[in-house]
Amino acid sequence: MKLLGEAAWRHTLLLFTCGDFLGERTIEQHIEGEGESLRWLTERCGNRYHVFHNEEKGNLRQVQGLLEKVEEMAQRGGFFRLDEATLNAVKEKQGEAEERAKERKRRAEEQRRQRRELFPEGTKTLPELRLVVLGSRGVGKTSVGNTIFGSKERGDGQRTSCSAARRGLVGGTRLTVVDTPGWWKSFSASDTPEATKEQLRLSGFLCPPGPHAFLLAIDADGSFGAKHLRAAESHLELLGGGRVEAYRGGLHPGRLGGRLRRGRAHRRGGRGAALPSGAMRKQVSRHRQQERGRREAGRRAAGEDQRGRGG
């Protein structure tokens, strides 16, 4: 909003989407219950707001209601005029963004060239790959699995509440893809429900002896700033690792294992990054120790049973 100037607030209306999830709560109760920041924002917009129920796509009344509120606001304050200085600032920002985009594209092309040199065509593929998809809510983690397997096991729009493994054969490689529940994008693990955190901890055990890679899903049409990185890091730490070690580049079934073993990747990557399996080493180790303990207990019980029969 700073780019548009102070006057933009007089022409701003808050549009709450996904009003279906409010249930019996009114939007006013939601605003009051969500804390000081949302109350401040609502007041900053002159207490102008509207709610869309996304499941009611054929409900024209909610659309008409929005248009009426916009029209009323326009009748009072006219339309927003962008001054020359603000317009120049916007154009400058756009130019900087375009330059950064060109630089990212150049780096991506260079990385693809390096990968082709490191892993020429015909490189032997791994017989099996185990992946865990992580990310905040609504970024399309379930869609990742549907895309990989080329079919829908369940709807993309359904919220994932429990970690679940899906298995199949893709291009001659046996794949296990674990879908996980998401966290709120801007909040650390301390604000995430315990049930969700337990499901995240469980995810690695659903593809024993452990995943080859974590895929951190990030929505390409949304922002990803420092607070979102901190939120991701705090949730990755639940798996036993430290800071997020993100790796640039796409995922190729035949090349992932070699990339992780040789460490030929760049840190701090972009979206769709594959995370190293080191974050699960402690957890997998505990899992193996528990398995050994259960086997030893079984052998002891069998020995005692035989001695009892011999006596």
Helix ranges, the chain (H): 27-33, 36-44, 60-77, 84-118, 141-149, 194-202, 226-236, 256-262, 281-310
Single-letter amino acid code for the residue at 38: L
Assigned CATH topology for domain 126-288: Rossmann fold (3.40.50)
Please report the pLDDT score of residue 131 as a whole number.
Answer: 92
Short-list 53, 51, 48, CA closest to 70? 48
Give pLDDT tens digits for 176-226: 999 999 999 889 888 888 889 999 988 888 998 888 888 999 887 777 888
Please report the pLDDT score of residue 177 as a whole number.
Answer: 93
Please report the pLDDT score of residue 304 as a whole number.
Answer: 56
Looking at the predicted structure, is the pLDDT value of residue 295 above 80? Answer: no
CA distance 212 to 31: 43
How much is the average pLDDT of 224-242?
83
Domain residue limits, the chain: 6-77, 82-118, 126-288
The overall average pLDDT reported for the chain is 75
Please report the pLDDT score of residue 47 as a whole number.
Answer: 92
Looking at the predicted structure, is the pLDDT value of residue 139 above 70? Answer: yes
How much is the average pLDDT of 151-177?
81
Give pLDDT tens digits for 26-80: 999 988 888 888 899 999 999 999 999 888 877 888 888 999 988 888 888 787 7
